[in-house]
Structure 1
Amino acid sequence: MAYYVKYSDMKSGENGETLFYISDESGKRELWQMNLVDGKVSQVTYEEENIKDYWFEEHGVVLAIDHNGNERNQLHRLEGEGALPFIQEPDYFHHYGIYDEARGKFMLTRNHHSSAVFELCSYNRQEGLVILEEFKSPAYIKKQLGEETLLMTIDVDNIDKELYTYNMREGSLSKLPMPKGRFKSILLNSDDGPAYAVADWDDGYLNLYEVDLTDWSHVKVTSFPWDMEHFKLSGDGKSAVISVNENGCSTLYHYDPGSHEVQKVNFRADGVIHSMEWPDSDELYLLFSSTDVPHCICRLDMERKEQEIMLQNNGDIEEIRWRMLSFTSFDGLEVPYFLYEPKNGHGSVIHVHGGPESQARPEFNELYYRLYKEGITVAVPNIRGSLGYGRFYLKADDREKRLDAMADVVALRTHLIDRRDMNRENISIMGRSYGGFMTLLLVTHHPELWRKAVDIVGISDLTTFLHDTPSWRRDLRSAEYGFLGVHDKMFDEISPLMRAEYVKAPLMIFHSHHDSRVPFTESVQMAERMKNNGQDVTFTAYENEGHTFMRRQNLDNMNGKIIKFLVE
């Protein structure tokens, strides 16, 4: 079976003549590079585990590598073809920050897997790892400002962050005068120019702000009614490009920092720009995919307005029928979704994304594509609680409103039958992570609606989930789902585990032993409860994966089982 390579995390090398990216071409995620002069590609790392992230520093390349997908990243230096560890503490999650060249130290935050405390640390070979500050919420380094100051974010809840500075010389922490909100990135311009931040401080949408680093005053300079996803300055700081997530699709714009004028760039707007790099003033590189365009790297000549694909994906692909649509839910809320609709289809499935603070987008999804090729219609909604549609929409499913999100999926099913002529007897439900929880809610609260169901790393009971998930994650998730000791009655009333006996549809469950987000036991207890009831359930567990499956062998195994299950 031919498969489609996933590319991610594209970054420009120091000389501007090389693009680096993570690819699973070898069967797992490794670091690769492309020479922009001759177009040649080569594999950079050869590790047993997946490369999770990487950064360029003065001394070389820093790599984040975990064990079997457990997300406890350990830090390595890339030397030759080998990755040599320099911070190895398997019980800790390490969140890389910067390399402080003046002090010759790495700056990072870390947290023990069983603790809610985050620690700001420095590291060099002589002193080892030194703890500088402790935080009671997740804390991350975003940027170094001058020689003395770190810009940091501290999570307020699962959505909002507050900004702080940490003075490394004085060892002091100061809260900045920005309101709490979503904060995506900050980019420094020339020494005398403003900094640019992407945040939602004003109206609930991620937009561009100019920030004065002396008094931290800030002015919003774009007004998109959607979320901005990427912002890149040209080398001279006189020009910029912006990509905006407009109803799921990426739209590319040119931005003039002097006049604040925004002008749309002629680049396809029917997919997702995953990342972009602008190593020189003329050529912009975009990592792109769409429903029928597997991940590829494109070069866009900003002067001539010409574009070409520099790195093409593997495997044959053909154009598919898909569209962006919406439906009206039970309370009048307009809910967006996109639809893969094959001709002469013989069955359909609704797929609910994870998060819930996430968004389904028309990027290339190999499972959707293969289901479509088998004649299965795939409907992918962004039910209430999804990102991309403003703060009101994002908060519309919190706590006691959880079943309102479930009702969105029921309303979509009715819409597909009434407006898209789907066979009511042949509609299945599927979801991953939070989408797996939503799947289990739907087959236990509305068991008569579904032909089959697939739950991937889903929550089966909010009480056991919040009790067993790491304490630092529990605090954040409780703001979304509810709090132990406060919302216990609601948890019991809606619990799929408590209602397992009502499931009528054959259920297929997938999970992994090293999941650090949704405990493996969530799927074990659901599968065992149904087996003890004599119900139709199958359970597949992967020994070497975490919450996000990354090994090609496992992905092929899971996708093959799901396709066969839904097609039969």
Structure 2
Amino acid sequence: MTERAADRLTDLLELRRTSLFDIDSEHRLLVGNDDTGSTQLYEVSPDGQWRQLTHLGEPCSGRYLPGERVVVLSADTGGTERAQLSLLRLDTTGSEQRLPTPEPLVHDPAFIHDLLEVQPGRVIYSTNRRNGVDFDVIARDVATGEERVLWDGGGWFNGARVSPDGRWVVLSRMTTLPASSQLLLVDSQDGTSAAITDDEVPGEWANPRWLPDSSALLASSDAEGVQAHRDAEGVQADRDAEGVQAAEGAGVADNGTGFVSLRRFDVAHRTWSMVAGTEGSDVYGWPSPDGNRIAVVSSSDGADSLEVRSPDATVGHPIALPHAGVLTFRTNLIWSPDSSELGMTFSSPVQPPEAYSWRGGESVNRRTTGNPAEATADLIEPRSFRAPAPDGEQIPTFAIIPPNAAGSAVMIIHGGPESATVRSWNPMAAALALAGYTVVLPNVRGSAGYGRRWLSLDDVEKRLDSVADLVALREWLPAIGVDQSRIALYGGSYGGYMVLAGLTFYPDLWAAGVDIVGMSSLVTFLQNTSAYRRVYREREYGRLKEDYDVLQAASPLPIIDRITAPLFVIHGANDPRVPLSEAEQVAAAVRSSGAECELLVYADEGHGLAKRVNQLDAYPQALEFLARHLS
């Protein structure tokens, strides 16, 4: 069975995965595709013709430069996450069979340059080149190279949007509160800035999008209460009537559920109001460039639904997706410039990511070439459950239960931790289920998608409560036919930490563990992670100075000699998030205590395995390891 399962896993890993990055004015798609072994850029014409644009050997992404046949390319080297920006000129004066040569736009390999936004003739990016820690936001003129600093007040940014009239720039900056961010508004006329949400109120502010007349913007948030009345440190407010002012006492309506709702910020009045929100769902919105429609995505229990609504979002037209799955880049649905086409990336547990679009009608249409139907015809859809915990909580859980289930189970724990297991493509989970294992995919406390309260139940001193959820899940698993003596833990990043924590704090309960780029000590992880990440990781796990004892108490490494179950560890040598030293120290400690531990290190990878050649080497070995210890 192991050889057949490994062959099937290889087949699934080799399936094509395509993600949409952009749409131009001629309805050409800019997509990422991994046919070459890592995600490269391709252009897909309206008649379905493909043109390869890059062959870098490293994963990359990009955006069209509006109004020009130019792509802004973003790529790092070896998984370091130090992104560099280049231009690809797509003029047709030469042969389209020849790959365009990247022209450096923003290059300094020692630092990160994250592409945030593209506009006619200019790009907006964030960079930590000033001190290696704080990110400044820069607008760069592509033709002249002239740069203008939009923000240098510190922080880490995950988004920027320029208003259609060019005056305003809204920036999304992470704050020091767990799973929280803040929106800043920059006046590009005079350079003044102000906070329009409060950085002392917990809550994420995601996906800011301008209305076409620049009078307001939409954003999604799970924050509650009064917002936008407190100035952030270093933020200039109290401008004259023409400047940006933080609104004194401006209220944010919310739906009171702790779920993400869609909200509207009125620039003239500096006030927030609620647009759309549903109990049990996270709601996001994308207004069309002409202002006549809003695409609304509602995410509930790991699956997405799509509607196209009226401008006020009150009247909706449901759009059918292929089946239960997710719009993979849910913060990057893309309207064509003429508003006639809505592009997206869709994936599910039985389908790899693929680009789709909607141009009217009842359902989305495939825009890119799919994999053969027979390649995924035997895959099994997960079922949704709620597993009881001793304290009365219910743990949202998916399970793939094969018809030939033999009692063994693999529990796959997601990373983050402010993330979630959703109904998306997971070739390892699919292959394990085809091999007869019950695959359990839990959203332990601390996971996103189930309300702000659930998201916050693992913060700092509550960390081990999420580890205890693994035990509760084990107690419940016989209800779906699992033998408690044959359960393995599997996870990446924070999920890797959960594997190690499960094996150390509850050592007698598990048959084996697979740790991929996981943290073995929260103390050494925070000490050694990249400096620009440390403050934002401390907000979730605890601060080294104030919470050292809490961090140490929740770390597997000090009690690693408790591990008796066999352990398999995978790590990238260039990981900027969880340093390789986390894997090396746990492997050495486990081996010294006499337990079995295999360690695979990939010299050209970072935080996870992005290259197919490494996936094809590591994951079949992990599968064989699990088969050996769960038989």
- TM-score, normalization: structure 1? 0.92
Report the Cα distance in structure 1 between the residues aligned to 2:342 and 2:106, rounded to whole angstroms.
35
How many equivalent pairs are there? 562
1:14-163 equivalent positions in 2, closer than 5 A? 14-16=25-27, 18-36=28-46, 38-59=47-68, 60-80=70-90, 81-98=100-117, 106-112=123-129, 115-124=132-141, 133-139=151-157, 142-145=160-163, 146-157=165-176, 158-163=178-183
Change (3 A) 1:100 1:308: closer
1:445 partner letter? F
1:241-263 alpha-carbon deviations (Å, 9 max, x no partner): 21211111011223122462235
User: Could you say what secondary structure the match of 1:344 adopts?
Assistant: coil
Specify whether residues 140 and 409 from structure 1 end up closer, same or farther in structure 2 by C-alpha distance, changes over 3 A only.
Answer: closer
Q: Name whichever of 440-449 and 267-276 sits farther off.
A: 267-276
Residues in 1 aligned to 2:184 and 2:286: alpha-carbon distance in whole angstroms: 24
CA deviation vs aligned residue, 1:314-343 (integer Å, no higher than 9, x gap): 351124152111111121111111111112
Select between 315-324 and 441-450 the one with higher mean Cα deviation: 315-324
SS of match in other structure, 2:112: strand
Q: Do 2:111 and 2:132's aligned partners in 1 also have CA atoms closer than 8 Å?
A: no
Match of 1:238 in 2: 292
Q: Which moved more, 1:547-556 or 1:232-241?
A: 232-241
CA distance in 1: counterparts of 2:523 and 2:467, whole angstroms? 18
- Distance in 1 between residues matched to 2:35 and 2:214, nearest whole Å: 44
**Whole-angstrom distance in 1 between the partners of 2:601 and 2:365:** 42
Following superposition, the deviation at residue 226 of structure 1 comes to 4.2
CA-CA distance at 1:156 after TM superposition: 1.1
**Structure 1 pair 298/133, CA: closer, same or farther in 2 (3 Å)?**
closer
Query: Which residue of structure 2 aligns with residue 190 of structure 1?
Result: 212
| CA RMSD, 1 decimal | 2.4
Tell me what 2:419 maps to: 358
CA distance in 2, matches of 1:282, 1:505: 56
Counterpart of 1:528 (choices 570, 580, 588) is 588
Say if 2:62 and 2:73, in contact at 8 Å, map to a contact too. Answer: yes
Q: 1:42 to 1:467 in 2, by over 3 A?
A: same
User: How far apart are the structure 1 equivalents of 2:554 and 2:488?
Assistant: 21
Q: CA deviation at 1:176?
A: 2.1
Code of the residue aligned with 1:163 in structure 2: it is: L
The amino acid of 1:302's aligned partner reads G
Checking the alignment, whether the CA contact within 8 Å between 2:65 and 2:119 is kept in structure 1 is no
Q: Could you tell me how far apart the structure 1 residues matched to 2:269 and 2:140 are? A: 30
Secondary structure in 1 matching 2:508: helix
The residue number in structure 1 matching 2:410 is 349
The aligned counterpart of 2:5 is none
Structure 1 residue 130: Cα displacement: 6.2
- Partner residue of 2:366? 309
Structure 2 counterpart of 1:469, which letter?
Answer: T
Deviations 1:2-37 (A, max 9, x none): 322222244212222x1221111110110122222x
CA distance in 1, matches of 2:413, 2:281: 21
- Give me the whole-angstrom Cα distance separating, in 2, the residues matched to 1:256 and 1:169: 32
Q: Which residue of 1 aligns with 2:232?
A: none
Query: Could you tell me whether the CA contact under 8 Å between 1:109 and 1:141 is conserved in 2?
Result: no
- 1:5 matches 2:16: yes
SS in 2 for 1:448: coil
Q: Closer, same or farther in 2 for the Cα pair 1:207/1:443, shift >3 Å?
A: same
> Identity over aligned residues, as a percent?
27
Residue type at the aligned position of 1:176: I
Distance 1:258 1:421, change over 3 A: closer
Cα deviations across residues 204-260 of structure 1 (Å, max 9, x unaligned)? 322222322223322111122245465333453222221211111011223122462
> What is the CA deviation profile of residues 438-491 of structure 1, one whole-angstrom value per residue up to 9, with x for unaligned ones?
100000111111111000000000110111112331111112111112222222
Q: Structure 2: any 5+ residue segments left out of the alignment?
A: 1-9, 91-99, 224-253
| 1:257 equivalent in alignment to 2:311 | yes
Mean Cα displacement is larger for which, 168-177 or 429-438? Answer: 168-177
Please give the secondary structure, in 1, of the residue aligned with 2:262: strand
Greater shift in the superposed pair: 90-99 or 539-548 = 90-99
Match of 2:571 among 502, 505, 511: 511
Is the 2:328–2:346 Cα contact (8 Å) retained in structure 1? Answer: yes
Q: What is the 5 A alignment of 1:480-491?
A: 480-491=540-551
Measure, in 2, the Cα distance between the counterparts of 1:57 and 1:284: 17
C-alpha distance 504-210 of structure 1, shift in aligned 2 (>3 A): same
| Structure 1: tracts of 5 or more residues without a match | none
Aligned partners of 2:412 and 2:491 also within 8 Å? yes
Q: Could you tell me which residue of structure 2 aligns to residue 551 of structure 1?
A: 611
